[in-house]
Amino acid sequence: MRDDKKSTAGRRDFLRKVGIGTVGAGVTLATPLMTPAQADSETDQERRKARYKETEHVKTFYRVNRYPS
């Protein structure tokens, strides 16, 4: 009887250690991926400028897909 209880406790301890190791490895791997946030460096004029440019390949896409011009 005592041997059975001892082996059960051993398995439980093993699973606890594996779980703790997995969490620790996850935290270690995720830490270098986090970078500090940086403020936006655009001025007001840069934010308001037109960004969409209807180039030739865009016009071709519209023409091929039969969008109204």
pTM: 0.29
User: Using CA atoms, how far apart are residues 45 and 19, in angstroms rounded to an integer?
Assistant: 53
Convert the pLDDT of each residue in 18-30 to its tens digit.
777 666 666 565 5
For residue 35, what pLDDT is reported? 73
User: Using CA atoms, how far apart are residues 18 and 12, in angstroms rounded to an integer?
Assistant: 10
Encode the chain in three state secondary structure. CHHHHHHHHHHHHHHHHHHHHHHHHHHHHHHHHCCCCCCCCCCHHHHHCCCCCCCHHHHHHHHHCCCCC
